[in-house]
């Protein structure tokens, strides 16, 4: 009985140590907030000329067709436009422009950290509305940005390097539980992605790499000369599997962390250059920098209780 209780106590202690023992300051939260805001703002500016083509009433795909698969609890643009037209007599195109203006404003306010949680929530809801209103044209980056915005909503990202910090005089605290959740998330992302690639054959024989870089609609550079070097595709495919599948093992080791962080960022930079997916690369590099580039602060006494460190009082 005592052995069982001791084992339970040790497991609980290990979990608490993992989430609370190291002390991180809030720099990673500021990087998360500012990085997410800058990427969203850049993406918004780039897409602005094509908004009507993607989401407009006379766009490439009719709004009512795009709304077929949208869950009922999501306020997509067609639904918002229907309500706006019925109660305020506002035209569909005007609704898009008005929401676009609000979206840009809340992103800017989020980036500077003014009324951070409110603006993060508004940005998250509007982002969901936009991507579900043009979900036939979305891809992975839009869903990763949704996740990062959600973290901006629930994490205290406005407590550090923000206007809110100047206005409300937040006290310094330990934000370790938040970075631990981010670290677990990104490890799961890479492990599942690597495992999905590893169970098939196309990544081992280089076929997936070949298909990706030989699509004219995706690749902007003439790199067809690489077809003479078949082994490059095989090596690139296997390297991608290794980097992703073993990310969660090597990134936690302090001796291999910098190496794996560098390899992962280089992989995403290659994707940005070859496949012309700069926003996807930017989001993933930001995710990596936020989670594993910051070190915990040195502590004089690591035996200090969690309550004395103030770790349980900062949510």
Task: Transcribe 216-250 into DSSP letters.
Answer: TTT--S--GGGGG-HHHHHHHHHHHHHHHHTHHHH
pLDDT score, position 41: 95
- Average of per-residue pLDDT across 247-260: 94
Chain segment 171-190, per-residue pLDDT in tens:
877 889 999 999 999 999 99
Position with higher pLDDT, 128 vs 68:
128
Chain segment 56-115, per-residue pLDDT in tens:
777 787 777 777 777 777 777 777 877 787 788 788 788 888 888 999 999 999 999 999
pLDDT score, position 194: 95
- CA pair distance 195, 117, nearest whole angstrom: 35
Contact 7, 119 (CB under 8 A): no
- CA pair distance 94, 15, nearest whole angstrom: 52
Position with higher pLDDT, 127 vs 301:
127
- CA pair distance 267, 259, nearest whole angstrom: 12
pLDDT score, position 4: 56
Provide the mean pLDDT of the chain: 83
Contact 251, 187 (CB under 8 A): yes
pLDDT score, position 134: 80
Contact 227, 278 (CB under 8 A): no
pLDDT score, position 69: 73
Residue 306 has pLDDT above 50, yes or no: no
Residue 310 has pLDDT above 50, yes or no: no
pLDDT band, very low/low/confident/very high, at 308 (cuts 50, 70, 90):
very low
Number of neighbours of residue 76 by Cβ within 10 angstroms: 22
- CA pair distance 237, 241, nearest whole angstrom: 6
Number of neighbours of residue 202 by Cβ within 10 angstroms: 13
- Share above pLDDT 90 across residues of the chain, in percent, rounded to a whole number: 47
Residue 302 has pLDDT above 70, yes or no: no
pLDDT score, position 312: 46
- Average of per-residue pLDDT across 121-133: 90
Domain ranges of the chain: 23-168, 175-296+306-315
Residue 315: strand, helix, or coil: coil
Residue 1 has pLDDT above 60, yes or no: no
Kindly state the tokens that stand for 120: 């993060």
- CA pair distance 175, 106, nearest whole angstrom: 25
Position with higher pLDDT, 229 vs 24:
24
Q: CA dist 105 to 50, 164, 182, 315, Å?
A: 19, 16, 27, 26
Residue 35 has pLDDT above 90, yes or no: yes
Which range of 23-27, 247-251, 292-296 scores highest in mean pLDDT? It is 247-251
pLDDT band, very low/low/confident/very high, at 54 (cuts 50, 70, 90):
confident
Kindly state the tokens that stand for 163: 């206007």
- CA pair distance 6, 13, nearest whole angstrom: 10
pLDDT score, position 226: 63
- CA pair distance 214, 221, nearest whole angstrom: 10
Residue 88: strand, helix, or coil: helix
Chain segment 189-248, per-residue pLDDT in tens:
999 999 999 998 999 988 888 887 777 665 556 666 666 667 888 899 999 999 999 999
């Amino acid at each position: 009985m005592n052995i069982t209780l001791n084992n339970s106590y040790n497991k609980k202690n290990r979990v608490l140590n993992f989430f609370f023992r190291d002390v991180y300051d809030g720099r990673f939260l500021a990087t998360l907030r500012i990085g997410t805001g800058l990427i969203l703002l850049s993406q918004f500016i780039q897409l602005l000329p094509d908004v009507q083509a993607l989401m407009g009433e006379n766009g490439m795909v009719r709004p009512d067709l795009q709304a077929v698969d949208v869950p009922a609890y999501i306020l997509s643009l067609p639904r918002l436009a229907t309500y706006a037209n019925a109660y305020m007599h506002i035209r569909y195109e005007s609704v898009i422009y008005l929401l676009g203006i609000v979206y840009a404003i809340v992103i800017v306010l989020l980036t500077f950290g003014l009324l951070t949680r409110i603006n993060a929530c508004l940005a998250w809801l509007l982002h969901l509305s936009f991507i579900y209103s043009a979900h036939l044209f979305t891809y992975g980056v839009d869903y990763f940005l949704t996740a990062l915005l959600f973290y901006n909503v629930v994490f205290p990202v406005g407590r550090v390097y923000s206007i809110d910090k100047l206005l409300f005089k937040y006290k310094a605290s330990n934000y370790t539980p938040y970075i631990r959740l981010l670290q677990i998330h990104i490890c799961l992302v890479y492990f599942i992605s690597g495992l999905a690639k590893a169970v098939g054959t196309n990544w081992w024989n280089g076929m997936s790499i070949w298909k990706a870089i030989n699509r004219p609609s995706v690749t902007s550079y003439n790199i067809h000369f690489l077809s003479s070097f078949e082994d490059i595709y095989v090596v690139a495919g296997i390297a991608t599997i290794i980097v992703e599948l073993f990310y969660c093992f090597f990134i936690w080791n302090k001796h291999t962390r910098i190496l794996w962080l560098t390899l992962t960022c280089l992989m995403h930079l290659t994707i940005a250059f070859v496949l012309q997916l700069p926003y996807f690369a930017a989001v993933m590099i930001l995710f990596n920098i936020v989670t594993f580039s910051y070190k915990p602060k040195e502590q004089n006494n690591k035996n200090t209780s969690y309550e004395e460190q103030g770790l349980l009082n900062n949510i």
